[in-house]
Amino acid sequence: MKKIPNNRAWFLVLPVFVTVAFSAIIPLMTVVNYSVQDIFGPYNRVFVGTEFFEMVLQDRDLHEALQRQLLFSFWVLLIEVPLGIAIALALPVRGWLASLCLVLIALPLLIPWNVVGTIWQIFARPDIGLAGVAVNRLGIHYNYTAEPFDAWLTVLVMDVWHWTPLVALLCYAGLRAIPDAFYQAARIDGASAWAVFRYIQLPKLRGVLMIAVLLRFMDSFMIYTEPFVLTGGGPGNSTTFLSQFLTTLAVGRFDLGPAAAFSIIYFLIILLFCWIFYTVIENLGRAPR
C-alpha cells in the first residue's frame, strides 16, 4: 500500500512566507516601481523606463563612492578573516579561562553601532582621545577630522575592532567541531602545527569561513552608522561610502526615482559579489579529480 505523504506541516511555514512578503517582497516591489516611474502624486506618474538607472550610473560621485567601498571591503576581509582565525587558534580549548575569553571577545559585538561610532569619535580625537594623543606623541601626525587618509584608516580600524570577534567566534566554533580523531592521527604521523592547520583545520573550517566571508562582506559593503557618526562622511568625501551616497540621494536631495534605481543596483552588486565569493570558496574546497 502506497503511503500518502502528509504535507500539512507546510502550513507551519506559511507565517514565515507572509512575514517575508511584508518585510521584503512588498518594499522591494515598491522600490522597483519608483525606479521606473517618475511619481508626482497618487494619480500623476510618468513611465521613464531605464532613465533613472542611466542617470545614476553616470554620476561621478557614485563611481568614487564605489571605489572607496570596494577598497574598504577588500581590506576588511584581508585583515579580519586571518586575524579572526589566529585569535580562534590562540584561545583556550576548555575550562573557565576559555569561557572568560569568549565573553571578553564578544563584548564589542554587544555595543550598538551608533555607540561604536561615538566611542571611537572620542577615543581617536587628536586633542583629548587616548589613541589620538598617543599616536601624536609618537611623532606621527594624526587627525582624522582633517586628514582624509587618517579618517579612512580610523574607520577601518574601528570596523576591525568591532567585527573581528564575530569571525573569531565562528572559527572557534568550527575548530571545536573537528573530531579529536583527526588530531590523534596527526600526532601519530608526527605532523607539525602548520601541517595540522593546513590539512586538517583549514579544510574543516571551509563552511565556517564561507559564512564569515559572506557576512563580513555584506556588512562592510553596507556600512553606514559607524562612519556617519564618526566622520559624517568627511573630511570631504573620503569616508562617504555607498550607503551614505544612497541616503544623501534619497533624503538629502529627495530624488526618490534615482535613489530607488541605485538601491536596485546596490542590491545587485552585493548579490554578484556574494555569488563570486561563494563560488570561489566552494571550488577551493573541492578535491581535484
User: Does residue 55 sit within a domain?
Assistant: no
Residue 84: inside a domain, yes or no?
A: yes
Question: Which pLDDT score is estimated for 1?
Answer: 57
pLDDT tens digit sequence for 7-34: 777 778 888 888 877 787 888 888 888 8
Residue 267 falls inside a structural domain: no
The answer as to whether 266 is a domain residue is no
Domain that holds residue 86: 66-241
CATH number for the domain that contains residue 151? 1.10.3720.10
pLDDT value for 25: 81
In a domain, 46, yes or no: no
What pLDDT does residue 168 have? 94
Look at the alpha carbons of 208, 211, 217, 222 in this order and tell me if their dihedral is positive or negative. negative
How high is the pLDDT of residue 170?
Answer: 93
| Intervals of the chain under pLDDT 50 | 288-289
What does the block give as the cell for 147?
586628514
Q: Is residue 213 part of a domain?
A: yes
How far is the C-alpha of 17 from the C-alpha of 25, rounded, in Å? 10
Count how many domains the chain has: 1
Are 167 and 85 in contact, with CB atoms under 8 Å apart? yes
